[in-house]
Structure 1
């Protein structure tokens, strides 16, 4: 595989030698802007606000964030759960690429979470059985069996490892294994985790993620689950452009920052009551986009010295 093309979020255009099909595939993916130059075979590649890694025809394009990876992960996590991420319990390798840094930290946290074995819990199961277990789903029994007594449409609670917490961990494992730029050393750890989670049902791609709530019972899982949620927040894609397949794993820095600022301001303005945005479209003031907020107390936060 050729040496990766390393770019930095928001940097000026960079002159790169590319084959025409590869340039077209990158342009079609919409991750970077690709412009033909007067020099045959050479293109200007301009990164935007997306960070991560894209692979096409043996070429890997790595788009690094402007900020340190640990700060990036803090911004992402704080927007999800401020109370957890204030403690700064998740540290990543600042010298690694984002996918590898996430994989390394996730493997460490997941191993720690699973040291005492897989967490178990009760799951409600709808099934068709020859013997009674739990209770009969009467409406389904009448609709499907037309008065027959066997088989039975039943519903019961099963104590199992196939619960939301384990499903989220497995989904993150599968996501990282599909991600370009995750090296062999990290993949070995991910494969071991996959074996440990062999009895867990993997959520379908494109479907909704299982929901979980921090509690006393899953406390040892929480750091790994929080990082797993960040892993799953990335946009994973694979598309065909002509004869080439473009795959990638990306985060949008503009969205990350906007989500962080929204939550941070909500926390800061808590004394004003419920704080909500007044419009989705920004208002431009002094050539900068501004947003207005409405508070349930009726007092303007702007008077508090924030702007």
Structure 2
């Protein structure tokens, strides 16, 4: 049985590991776990960065638990709240928990019937219809004087739409995960049967954008959210450059996404205000992307940068947000940190032109407390 080292995100723990494991962590997982030697031979201090999940080294499995309670992690990840009275706390099986959430949402979508959509299929026809594939048609015309067929992309109304391709790809990926219990994989296999006609397609960020933009697929949104978490978490194994398995969720990205969606929802009632996520600003050979730009009548009024760490101000972070102020013309910039309570501190640049704020928003508490915390942040950003 593979030995397991259980860690908690952002908390140091001293462990004894063989040399091969230490070399693996230093070579392939230094972006995930800080490795610091101690004065005792073979013993090191491990401090996970802002990730939760698991990864497997040459002979050891590393499990990283969140430092915030599971109900709050669900809210942070955009998952639906658990049923009242549920006290389940995932230990080493975060992937199994999300896979169960996935199959629950998949069954909820397939039960009333899947939503079809228009897609294009490549085919040939004796008649010209749809879109002509000019390159193939020209090659065929060069080989014969009178082509007897047209190479076309024909629109069809079927299940091969982005909102169906995403759960199909997620189910296929989960069925390959031997870490999941057999009973859970069997349940996924049964739940994905209605998607049997959906052709396998690579899923990109653009696929999610298109899927979420379809009004008829609004009921898919919880399914799409958990699918994105799973696919991104499974993709984390690729940079580790080894044959072991991994499933890791970047809480920094989750916190940024949570802030963006919560602020968008809160400011939706203020019709002149809008929230823009990660707009690109080109500066010479570099493109800078602030996390959140809050606009009033399309004019940038505030720029926020999400930081999943302690509220200690870092000079590099200040340089970053001040650069965003210059790029966007916003008079207010802020660094937003997670916490157990609300807090805010304001500074002003020496020329008085830009206000820099340090915010702490609640990520621990019930849903109402977290909503009030976001409302305070949004209100402060709107103050003139």
The answer, yes or no, to whether TM exceeds 0.5 is yes
Corresponding residue number in structure 1 for 2:52? 51
Q: TM-score, normalised by structure 1?
A: 0.75
Q: Could you tell me how far 1:110 is from its partner in structure 2?
A: 0.6
**Stretches of structure 2 lacking an aligned partner (at least 5 in a row):** 275-293, 295-299, 334-345, 347-354, 356-378
Corresponding residue number in structure 2 for 1:65? 66
1:91-148, Cα deviation, whole Å (9 max, x unpaired) = 698422321211111111112211245433221223234x337446274465222253
Provide the rounded CA distance (Å) in 2 between the counterparts of 1:58 and 1:161.
43
Provide the rounded CA distance (Å) in 2 between the counterparts of 1:281 and 1:57.
34
Kindly indicate whether the alpha-carbon contact (under 8 Å) linking 1:236 and 1:247 is maintained by their aligned counterparts in 2. no
Corresponding residue number in structure 1 for 2:140? 145
Q: Could you tell me how far 1:10 is from its partner in structure 2?
A: 0.6
Provide the rounded CA distance (Å) in 2 between the counterparts of 1:161 and 1:93.
38
Provide the rounded CA distance (Å) in 1 between the counterparts of 2:131 and 2:223.
38
Kindly indicate whether the alpha-carbon contact (under 8 Å) linking 1:25 and 1:246 is maintained by their aligned counterparts in 2. no
Provide the rounded CA distance (Å) in 2 between the counterparts of 1:223 and 1:41.
45
Kindly indicate whether the alpha-carbon contact (under 8 Å) linking 1:179 and 1:249 is maintained by their aligned counterparts in 2. no
Provide the rounded CA distance (Å) in 1 between the counterparts of 2:186 and 2:312.
52
Corresponding residue number in structure 1 for 2:163? 165
Corresponding residue number in structure 1 for 2:89? 95
After TM superposition, list the pairs within 5 Å mapping 1:201-240 onto structure 2.
201-204=199-202, 209=207, 211-213=210-212, 217-234=216-233, 235-238=235-238
Provide the rounded CA distance (Å) in 1 between the counterparts of 2:312 and 2:43.
38
Corresponding residue number in structure 2 for 1:39? 40
Count of paired positions: 291
Kindly indicate whether the alpha-carbon contact (under 8 Å) linking 1:140 and 1:153 is maintained by their aligned counterparts in 2. no
For the residue of structure 1 that corresponds to 2:122, the secondary structure is strand
CA change 1:216–1:300 in 2 (3 A) is closer
Give the root-mean-square deviation of aligned CA atoms: 3.9
Corresponding residue number in structure 2 for 1:81? none
For the residue of structure 1 that corresponds to 2:174, the secondary structure is helix
CA change 1:197–1:90 in 2 (3 A) is farther
